Amino acid sequence: MSPRLPASESALPVVQMHPYRWGDPARASELPASAQAMLDGLGITPPAQGPVDPADVTLPEVALPAPVRAALEALLGAQHVRTDQEARVGHTRGCSTPDILRLRAGDAADAPDAVVYPATHDEVVAVLRLCSEHRVAVVPYAGGTSVTGGLAPVRAGFASVVTLDVRRLDAMTAIDEVSRTATLQAGVRATAAEALLAERGYTLGHFPQSYEGASIGGYAATRSSGQSSAGFGRFDEMVVGLTLATPTGTIELGVAPMSASGPDLRQLVVGSEGTLGIITSVTVRVRRAPEVRVFEGWRFPDFAAGAAALRRLAQDGPRPTVLRLSDEVETAVNVADPTEVGAASPAGGCLAICGYEGAAADVEARRAGATAVLLDAGGEPLGEEPGEAWREGRYRGPYLRDPLLDAGGFVETLETVTFWSNVPALKRAVTEALMTTLGVDGRPVVVMCHVSHVYETGASLYFTVLSVAGDDPLGTWLPAKAAACDAIRASGAAITHHHAVGTDHRPWFEAEVGPLAVASLRAVKRTLDPAGILNPGVLISAEG
């Protein structure tokens, strides 16, 4: 069993990800006996062959032109321009299950030709100008936790591909305790940011499940959302300013908290996924570190009743800091505690998690008010034990993906967001699409769903799929993912809530916003990135 999670997320270490295993090697998980029993019950058996060792992965020949490499070394220092096996494999794609499966099979076709490590904003601009001049595509890289193909750009038409890793831009450069803002460079890892802020008594309060591996720049570039979004908001709501490096120069945004000076260009950059420029720093709103943190569980008889209760809190309050609801299947799998995955939940029904963070009096008042609403909505209080188990389990959960793959299982996630009135139909449509495409010929499949983020007008649905890997897991999954995306768009929902577009969701995103909006984004990209070198094919299709 892995060590328990510290009482505060700021105590978690900065983790350097293994190329195809999630998280901190010191906290690696073995497959729990209950999970193995579940796989046995589904008839899932280990693959005949294990993963290829990263050191044995065959890489394409380095295609970086010698003059470009020499110029990069002169600019950054030779030690900060790497073409070795470890650097290239370690920067190949992201952390989606398809990404990991390809690398486990020895497929590193998307490996960059070189990885460069600038240390300042000006160095980032200089690298981009050099690469633009020589038509070298640039992939921005921070934590590497993309799950939608955001680190696998289109290579066609470019001399080579360079990954620009911002890890050396890792400082908190300013904190304004009067205004309660902090300026963090893009390479600051999420855990390090919380530790830096905690030293001054503050928190960012942004804790996505990728928290151990993610970075500040990645949060901004992908419009991230964390577990505490009901209380603290999404990351795009926290950003009050930013600096963007482009091949044509620098953009600095955010002279005031709000402005009527034209469209909010911060929101054009936030969520642009490295296609318009590389975010080198952000100024974010911070909060006082909470005096009290309480997580508790509630049982509802079914998903409809639980969703109605969450909607009441989201619309009329009082709103908890964390608000989440697992459906009947996810509750039965007992995903709140990954050490017992597959062991039936004793509560049954649907598990809701409510978390409260803040000053003691505020937490007490909100908790009392929310309790009254939840009881009136038919909820049954389960106490703090399932709430705390979920808080710890949500960070341990991703560690199970790798031992599940080792055992022959296949697990992947997808998410979407819609208005409250459309939640039931959307959940049915996506579940049916996944069950129909993955369950062909009696193939075992489990589809779980939870409400992960709530708003006055709607909610995000997050789906987790467990099936058998088989001989061709990608050939099985990719049509199922496409069917789920088709169902999302047919239901009128957004193709992504917080995982971002990347390359995986691009066709459905372009359909969602329409051709005129796509043309507008391309026009902005041509202005900032005239050679089209920045993450080509990510977010919007590359121009011919």
The predicted structure's pLDDT at residue 335: 53
Q: List the 114-116 sheet strands across, edge first.
A: 81-82, 114-116, 160-165, 136-141
Residue 20 confidence (pLDDT) above 50: yes
Phi, psi of 186 (to 5 degrees): -65, -30
What CATH number is attached to the domain comprising 465? 3.30.300.330
Structural domain includes residue 528: no
At 366, the amino acid letter reads: R
Is residue 200's pLDDT more than 60? yes
Q: Which residue has the tokens 């790497």?
A: 82
Question: Which CATH number belongs to the domain containing residue 110 in this structure?
Answer: 3.30.43.10
Domain assignment present for residue 145? The answer is: yes
Query: Domain count of the chain?
Result: 4
CB 205 within 8 A of CB 226: yes
pTM, 2 dp = 0.94
Q: What pLDDT score does 104 carry?
A: 92
Determine the structural domain holding residue 321 and report its residue range.
Answer: 292-398
Tell me how far the alpha carbon of residue 402 is from its chain's centroid.
17
Q: Mean of the per-residue pLDDT values for the chain?
A: 92
Q: Which residues pair with 18 in a beta bridge?
A: 21
Closest CA to 484 of 403, 402, 414, 384: 414
Q: Determine the Cα–Cα distance for residues 61 and 72; give it in Å rounded to an integer.
A: 19
Task: Please write the tens of the pLDDT for every residue from 375-390.
Answer: 999 999 999 999 988 8
136-141 and 160-165 as β-strands: parallel, antiparallel, unpaired? parallel
Q: In degrees rounded to 5, what are phi and psi of residue 117? A: -130, 80
> Mean pLDDT throughout 216-239?
96
**Does position 240 have pLDDT exceeding 60, yes or no?**
yes
How many CB atoms within 10 Å of residue 201?
A: 10
For 294-319, the pLDDT digits (tens) are: 999 999 999 999 999 999 999 999 99
SS3 243: strand
Query: Both 86 and 189 in a single domain?
Result: no
Is 512 inside any structural domain? no
Radius of gyration of the chain (CA): 23
Q: Give 357's strand partners.
A: 293
End-to-end CA distance of the chain: 52
**Does residue 6 carry a pLDDT above 70?**
no
The residues near 363 (Cβ < 8 Å, ≥ 6 apart) are: 290, 291, 292, 294, 356, 357
The one-character DSSP state at 334 is T
Is residue 33 in a domain?
Answer: no
What is the predicted pLDDT for the residue at 89?
A: 95
Q: Residue 109: inside a domain, yes or no?
A: yes
Per-residue pLDDT tens digits for 357-374: 999 999 999 999 999 999
Q: Which of 266, 288, 310 is the last residue of a domain?
A: 288
Sheet holding 409-419, edge to edge: 380-383, 292-300, 350-358, 322-326, 445-454, 458-468, 409-419
For residue 543, the model assigns a pLDDT of 77
